[in-house]
Amino acid sequence: MNRVRKTFIKGNLKVNFEISGTDAVIHLEGDDAVDPETLVLGMVTLVPSNIKKWVPITDEVYEMTGEAFLYYIYDELAYRIVKKAAGIVIAAILASPATSSATAPAVAVLTQALGAGTIASAEALLSAEATDVVAIMNRATWGALKALQITSGQNVGDVFDGLDVVFTDALPAYASASANAAYMIVGDLKGVTANFPNGDDIKYKFDDTTEMTSDVIRVLGKLYAAIGVTAPFRFTQVKKAA
């Protein structure tokens, strides 16, 4: 979530992206007028919703532990909410089409068994605008790549191609992934936009009245956000070969 593009626009956010366009040309003196650019644009609409998590605690626990325990609860809620937001990023990338449409930018697809050249092959499918590229994978997949490096005598730069690795449990480990399932994403996370109409800080509510007769306090955290892929070919999803 630290790597995605963030905006703070109230309400729904519409983001244009280029599907195709003609190149600029050299115009020499005396030549005929140049043709206008043929530009085809798409538009992604990001509609925000609340990501929520709440936990109940008893009056007795709160009275015995005080503010320190409450701050622990706040941290736990924040962790779960941000983890869910990161999972939405992964889901958005995996749900993107292989060819851009009027409402969705394309994500490249590579179907390949895990090997020393997998990450480099996935990078090769990205557009030139993907500049801050990372490899996103389950930690067990990272371990399998490290094992390949050792057994095949490859250098770290050869196996991971010098990329930072971002770990997520939202992708399966390569060993347990089913055929044609995505087990890795290679790309530039700035190709995802997260819009936070009310800011990107998590809001908390402390409710000690709804269930006061049961001596239960509700602590809720929420984040109002819209997350989506907003640029074409910033990502390659790598699928396991059948």
Report pLDDT digits (tens) over 30-42: 777 777 767 788 9
Give the residue among 80, 86, 88 at the shortest CA–CA distance from 222.
80
**Residue 177 reports pLDDT greater than 90:** yes
DSSP 201: S
What contacts 126, CB < 8 A, 6 or more positions away?
108, 133, 186, 187, 188, 233, 234, 235, 236
Q: How far apart are CA 235 and CA 104, in angstroms?
A: 13
* Domains of the chain, start order: 5-239 (3.30.2400.10)
Mean pLDDT of all residues in 45-63: 91
The amino acid present at 127, given as its one-letter code, is S
User: Which pLDDT does position 69 carry in this prediction?
Assistant: 84
C-alpha dihedral over 233, 98, 88, 197, to 10 degrees?
Answer: 60
Read off the pLDDT band of 140 (50, 70, 90): very high
Task: Identify whether the C-beta of residue 147 lies closer than 8 Å to the C-beta of residue 141.
Answer: no
Residue 86 has pLDDT above 90, yes or no: yes
pLDDT higher than 90, residue 19: no
Q: Is-contact 86 170, C-beta < 8 A?
A: yes
- Mean pLDDT confidence for 19-23: 76
Q: Could you report the per-residue pLDDT of 142-161, keeping only the tens digit for each?
A: 999 988 877 765 554 568 88
pLDDT number for residue 91:
97
- If one compares 34 and 113, the residue with the highest pLDDT of the two is 113
> In which band, very low, low, confident or very high, does the pLDDT at 215 lie, cut at 50, 70 and 90?
confident
* Percent of the chain residues topping a pLDDT of 70: 97
Q: How many CB atoms lie within 10 A of CB 27?
A: 10
pLDDT at 121 over 80: yes
Identify the pLDDT of residue 152: 63
Average pLDDT, rounded, for the chain: 91
Q: Is the pLDDT of residue 167 over 80?
A: yes
What predicted TM-score, i.e. pTM, was given to this entire model?
0.86
